[in-house]
Chain A
Amino acid sequence: MTFKYDNVYLSEVSTVAGPYESKGPFGRYYDKVYNDFYCGTKTWEQAECRMLIDSVDMALYKANKLKQDIDLHISGDLLNQIVSTNYASASIGIPLIGIYSACSTSVLGLIIGSNMVDKDQIRNCLVSTSSHNNGAEKQFRQPVEYGGPKRKTATFTATGAASFLLSSKKERIKVESATIGKVIDLGITDSMNMGAAMAPSAAYTIYQHLKDLKREANYYDLILTGDLGIYGKKILREYMKIEYNIELNNHDDTACMIYDLDNQPVYAGGSGPVCLPLVFNSYIYQKMLDGEISRVLLVATGALLSTSMVNQKLSIPSISHAISLEVTDDIL
Chain B
Amino acid sequence: MDKNKYKDLVNKYSPKENRLYNGLIAFIIGGLMGIFGQLLIDVYSYYLHIPVKDASVFMIITLVFLGCFLTCLGFFDKMVSFARCGLIIPITGFAHSMMSATLEYKKEGIVTGMGANMFKLAGTVIMCGVVSAYLFGILRFLIMGV
Contact B74 A235 (CB under 8 A): no
8 Å CB contact of A144 from B7, B12, B77, B97: B77
Smallest CB separation, B8 vs chain A (Å):
11
8 Å CB contact of B101 from A146, A149, A239, A265: A146
Smallest CB separation, B66 vs chain A (Å):
15
Most buried by A among B6, B9, B14: B14
CA distance A239 to B88 in the complex (A): 38
Smallest CB separation, B21 vs chain A (Å):
12
- A287: Cβ under 8 A from any B Cβ: no
Looking at chain B's contact residues, is the secondary structure mostly helix, strand, loop, or mixed? helix
Of residues 82 through 102 on chain B, the ones whose CB sits less than 8 Å from some CB of chain A are 84, 88, 96-97, 99-101
8 Å CB contact of B80 from A146, A153, A196: A146
**Count, chain B residues at interface, CB 8 A:** 31
CA distance A187 to B9 in the complex (A): 12
- A40: Cβ under 8 A from any B Cβ: no
- B3: Cβ under 8 A from any A Cβ: yes
Contact A235 B121 (CB under 8 A): no
Contacts of A138 in B (CB 8 A): 104
Smallest CB separation, B128 vs chain A (Å):
17
CA distance A159 to B88 in the complex (A): 28
CA distance A187 to B1 in the complex (A): 11
Contacts of A152 in B (CB 8 A): 15, 17
Given A42-B107, A143-B104, A186-B6, are A235 and B80 also a contact pair (CB < 8 Å)? no
Contact B76 A145 (CB under 8 A): yes
8 Å CB contact of A145 from B14, B15, B74: B74
- B127: Cβ under 8 A from any A Cβ: no
- B10: Cβ under 8 A from any A Cβ: yes
Contact B96 A239 (CB under 8 A): no
Of residues 132 through 191 on chain A, the ones whose CB sits less than 8 Å from some CB of chain B are 138, 142-149, 151-153, 186-188
- B140: Cβ under 8 A from any A Cβ: no
Contacts of A196 in B (CB 8 A): 10, 13-14
Contact B10 A143 (CB under 8 A): no
Smallest CB separation, B85 vs chain A (Å):
8
CA distance A147 to B92 in the complex (A): 14
Contact B6 A187 (CB under 8 A): yes
Contact B1 A239 (CB under 8 A): yes
- B28: Cβ under 8 A from any A Cβ: no
Contact B10 A145 (CB under 8 A): no
- B103: Cβ under 8 A from any A Cβ: yes
Contact A200 B121 (CB under 8 A): no
8 Å CB contact of A148 from B1, B3, B80: B80
**Minimal Cβ-Cβ distance residue in B for A192:** B14
Contact B17 A144 (CB under 8 A): no
Q: Per-position contact with A for B92-120: 1 when CB-CB < 8 Å, else 0?
A: 00001101110110010000000000001
Q: Which B residues fall within an 8 A CB radius of A?
A: 1, 3, 6-7, 9-10, 12-15, 17, 22, 71, 74, 76-78, 80-81, 84, 88, 96-97, 99-101, 103-104, 107, 120-121
* 18 CB < 8 A contacts A-B: A138-B104, A143-B101, A143-B103, A144-B77, A144-B104, A145-B76, A145-B99, A146-B100, A146-B101, A146-B121, A147-B76, A147-B100, A148-B80, A149-B80, A153-B14, A196-B10, A231-B14, A235-B9
